[in-house]
């Protein structure tokens, strides 16, 4: 199925949010990282600027910076309105208000847009869609999946979750997924069956509490490691 820009709501988190969501250590950040579904997040720009090695894959990267900027401008007011309506689903501590949320997201997406042309040129932003990726086995040490799996459990089925994590394990030695909640801040129904599946096939699987919580109760990541 063709990936339509009109079906995406681009929304990007900051470098600091990625570090917190995935409990990234200095050692983790020295490795080669794959971001799956990074969209307009600032993680790739931030890590590259700090001398790290990261590639992001997202079907969004088939579009130009101008197209992505226009889509962000169209959808930001809708997301802000939705957040205002569901304000109780979020913890307003690390991000203290809706205005601060808008400022953090806008600055992250500006950092992404500023880095995007160079990143495309350098092969750091690659237009590919999970669950099938073109990278050879073991190309990266760590895969990060932020706000794609589990969050969209009403649209992405269990098969997609298992196939995507299997593919990321082929390409990377370890996969981390954040959050475990779906929209509406309730636990995704896919978490348990995903964990059961990867335990059964012999991978090391666990959840880890992290020092980041924005969706209320969303302070855990899934970690799957190839033994």
**Interacting residue ranges for ligand SAM, rule: CB under 6 A:** 8, 10-13, 36-39, 41, 57-60, 129-130, 146-148
Please say which residue, 146 or 215, places its beta carbon nearer to ligand SAM: 146
Q: How far is the CB of 40 from ligand SAM (least distance, A)?
A: 7
| Closest CA relative to residue 163, chosen from 147, 183, 146, 149 | 149
* Closest residue to bound ligand SAM by CB: 39
Please say which residue, 57 or 222, places its beta carbon nearer to ligand SAM: 57
Q: How far is the CB of 172 from ligand SAM (least distance, A)?
A: 14
Per-residue tokens: 3: 């990936």
Please say which residue, 55 or 227, places its beta carbon nearer to ligand SAM: 55
Query: CA angle at residue 20 from 67 to 75, to 5 degrees?
Result: 25
Q: What is the DSSP string of 130-151?
A: TT---SPTT-EEEEEEESSTTT
Q: How far is the CB of 92 from ligand SAM (least distance, A)?
A: 19
Q: How far is the CB of 129 from ligand SAM (least distance, A)?
A: 4
Q: How far is the CB of 96 from ligand SAM (least distance, A)?
A: 19
CA-to-CA separations, 31 to 21, 162, 190, in angstroms, rounded: 17, 24, 29
Please say which residue, 36 or 171, places its beta carbon nearer to ligand SAM: 36
Please say which residue, 10 or 218, places its beta carbon nearer to ligand SAM: 10
Q: What is the DSSP string of 134-201?
A: -SPTT-EEEEEEESSTTTTTTTS-HHHHHHHHHHHHHHEEEEEEE--EETTTEE-TTHHHHHHHHHHT
C-beta neighbour count of 12 within 10 angstroms: 26
Please say which residue, 109 or 191, places its beta carbon nearer to ligand SAM: 109
Q: How far is the CB of 202 from ligand SAM (least distance, A)?
A: 25
216: three-class secondary structure by DSSP: coil
Per-residue tokens: 89: 């689903």
Going by the DSSP 8-state scheme, the letter that residue 96 receives in this structure is -
């Amino acid at each position: 199925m063709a990936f339509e820009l009109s079906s995406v709501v681009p929304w990007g988190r900051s470098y600091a949010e990625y570090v917190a969501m995935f409990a990234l250590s200095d050692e983790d950040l020295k490795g080669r990282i794959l971001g799956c579904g990074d969209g307009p997040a600032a993680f790739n720009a931030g890590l590259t600027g700090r001398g790290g090695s990261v590639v992001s894959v997202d079907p969004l990267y088939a579009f130009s910076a101008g197209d992505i900027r226009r889509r962000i401008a169209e959808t930001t007011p809708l997301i802000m309105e939705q957040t205002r309506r569901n304000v109780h689903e979020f913890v307003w501590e690390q991000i203290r208000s809706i205005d601060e949320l808008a400022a953090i997201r806008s600055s992250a997406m500006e950092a992404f847009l500023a880095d995007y042309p160079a990143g495309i040129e350098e092969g750091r932003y690659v237009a590919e869609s999970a669950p099938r990726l073109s990278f050879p086995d073991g190309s990266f040490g760590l895969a990060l999946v932020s706000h794609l799996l589990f969050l969209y459990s009403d649209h992405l089925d269990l098969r997609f979750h298992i196939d995507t994590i299997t593919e990321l394990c082929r390409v990377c030695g370890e996969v981390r997924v954040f959050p475990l909640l779906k929209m509406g801040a309730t636990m995704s129904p896919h978490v348990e069956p995903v964990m059961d599946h990867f335990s059964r096939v012999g991978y090391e699987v666990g959840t880890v509490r992290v020092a980041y919580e924005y969706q209320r109760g969303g302070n855990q990541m899934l970690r799957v490691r190839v033994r």
